[in-house]
Amino acid sequence: MKALLNVNPILWQKDHLYLLDQRKLPDETSMMVLDTAPEVTQAIKDMVVRGAPAIGITAAYGVVLAAKAAYATHPEQWQTQIDKDLQQLAQARPTAVNLVWALQRMKACFSTIIGNPIPVLLKEAQCIHQEDIAANHVMGTLGAALLPTDCRVLTHCNAGALATGGYGTALGVIRSAFEAKKIIQVYADETRPWLQGARLTAWELLQDNIPVTLLADSAAAALMQQKRIDWVIVGSDRITANGDVANKIGTYSLAVLARQHHIKFMVVAPTSTIDMSLVSGEHIVIEERAMLEVLNNAAEGATAWNPAFDVTPAELVDVIVTEKGIIEAPNTERLLALMR
């Protein structure tokens, strides 16, 4: 199954980076053309592109654009000239660990480069992109194998092709399971305040002719109480060494509800999302976004708290699915074994 039919959310073509502007979906599918690293940084901040793997891939192409500009003006000092661009890229979305992971992987190429850096860096960025797509397909197969027949699933935010290089993490599992005729119902939270579920997840699934039922985030508990959900399947922006999971705000409440109602909870993420340098979720920097994102239609004078993510403790996660394998009842020992 090809995700999104003929739509590529991230595309490098003729020395330009093209991003599908996710802020305009589902009403409009338009590509934004980016020519500089600062433009890439702003696009990440503004959520033109979002989702940890997609942010990492985009940042990798941002390094190519930074090096292209620096080499054109300072061919002997291009590595030092792009330091500021790399720092700005790294700070664009602090919770998404794939961002820094991709930048570090690109920087690891610097010492091998003689002369024009563009061919080497572009090849590495394209490798990161293609490896992510391949990993998504592996995770889709592994995760789908865990689901029973006639399965009913609930997902949160958007962890599909739009959030990755293509195919998706949580939606990759859903796509694979639907193709295997194991899923009979997909529910998607609207996911406030940006409505990634309503705008993006529903749009993606409908592109692949997968029926989807939307619900307000606060309706998930009632759905579970009525025994209409078998698995909750979500992605992740960062997983710490003990298995704690940072994901879109509202994920933690779903995990608590799932445990209360004896529903399985699956996290699907590539190993690039696992941050073994952090012992637990207490050390994750949680991005807080502008109050205005919450205050639309609010009474004048009200203030808002707008964390973009929350942290789900490992003990509420039944399984983490990665391209390297499955971790049941995740803990530090099991993550260490996987990452070795």
Positions marked active-site: 237
At a CB cut-off of 8 Å and minimum separation 6, what does 134 contact?
Answer: 323
Report the distance separating Cα 208 and Cα 104, nearest Å.
35
Concatenated DSSP letters for 238-297?
EEETT--EEEETTHHHHHHHHHHTT-EEEEE--GGGEETT-SSGGGPPPPB--THHHHTT
Q: Is 150 helix (H, G, I), strand (E, B) or coil?
A: coil
Q: How far apart are the C-alpha atoms of 28 and 44, rounded to whole Å?
A: 19
The number of C-alpha atoms within 13 Å of 136 and in the hemisphere containing its C-beta is: 29
Query: Token pair of 209, please?
Result: 């002719």
Helix/strand/coil for 171: helix
Amino acid letter at 271? T
The full DSSP string for 85-135 is HHHHHHTSSTT-HHHHHHHHHHHTTGGG--S--HHHHHHHHHHHHHHHHHH
Q: Treating both helix axes as pointing N-terminal to C-terminal, what angle do 52-73 and 83-90 enclose, rounded to 10 degrees?
A: 170
